[in-house]
Amino acid sequence: MNEFYRESGYLLIRDFLNENEVLKLHNVIAEFHRLWQKDNATYYAQSAVNSAYLTNQEYLNDRQRQVLFDFIASEKLMSIVNELISKQPCFLNTQLFFNPVNPKQSNYWHRDPQYHLSVEQQKAALSASDVIHFRLPLLDEPGIELIPGTHKRWDSTEELEVRLEQNGYKNDQALSQGKVIKLSAGDLLIFSANMIHRGLYGLDRLAFDILFCQPDPSVIQFVSNDSLPTAEDLISLENPDAFDNTIKFKSAENKAAKDT
């Protein structure tokens, strides 16, 4: 499992969740999505394809948040997280991916860090720490298209021109090495945020992503305190290691910032 991920930058586990497990998550997440859409009506109508911070208190009550915390900290999920990030895996965030309202809106090839890093920094990031998406489609969907191996290698000329829209190319154009991974409710797709990928819109897609990272302060600084369980919540979790690690590294950072 680990070796395939290291080589390819992704890993697909079919039928990871059974119908009841999907339903339990879907009930909570559909409620989050309903409230988020209401609150972000203009953005949703114009262009949104994702939301984030599902475990925050803004839209879900404590009981609903507990369902998400229980799942994230389940041994079933954490045993895989530990295998892929062997040293102190940290919880980073959650995201939800859905279709744009406008059926003509096109998707876009990208590497996640390209929105906050220069091209030179993006190159350097390929040999730095990894952020990993654990994607759980809650309904059947067209899935994701990705370019295997690009979590470790820089873009070809074709990929760079399309991804960064250089020399007249557009970031939704086909790429020769693209691999389509169609997903069904209950599957688990794990992929590196660094790799070149794009979402495939269509059907009723509703994909819940949990992001984990290595204990890298430059990444952990983005964790919202409100997205984390309280000390009391932590006690009841089956395997709270990823939350514990994030909390520990965040408080060490805060202490260091105060002491300087």
Ligand X SMILES: O=C(O)CCC(=O)C(=O)O
List residues near ligand X by CB under 6 A. 49, 97, 112, 133, 197, 199, 209
Minimum CB–partner distance for residue 140 and ligand X (Å): 14
Question: Residue 181 CB, nearest distance to ligand X (Å)?
Answer: 11
CA gap 174, 178 in Å, rounded: 8
Residue 149, CA atoms < 13 Å, CB-side half-sphere: 8
Report the residue number, 66 or 149, with the smaller CB distance to ligand X. 149
Would you say 9 or 199 has its CB closer to ligand X?
199
Q: Under the phi-then-psi rule, with left for phi > 0, alpha for psi from -120 to 50, and beta for the rest, what region is 225?
A: alpha
Query: In sequence order, what are the beta bridge partners of 96?
Result: 51, 208
- Residue 201, φ and ψ in degrees, nearest 5: -80, 155
| Least spacing, CB of residue 107 vs ligand X, in Å | 6
Residue 39 CB-half CA count within 13 A: 9
- Pick the closer one to ligand X by CB: 194 or 245: 194
Residue whose C-beta lies closest to ligand X:
199
Of residues 99 and 245, the one with the C-beta less far from ligand X:
99
H-helix or E-strand spanning residue 143: strand 141-146
Token pair recorded at residue 192? 């590196």
CB of 167 to ligand X, least distance (A): 23
- Quick one: 26 or 111, whose CB is closer to ligand X? 111
Question: Which residues have a Cβ under 8 Å from the Cβ of 244 and sit 6 or more positions away?
Answer: 234
Q: Give the nearest distance from C-beta 63 to ligand X in angstroms.
A: 27
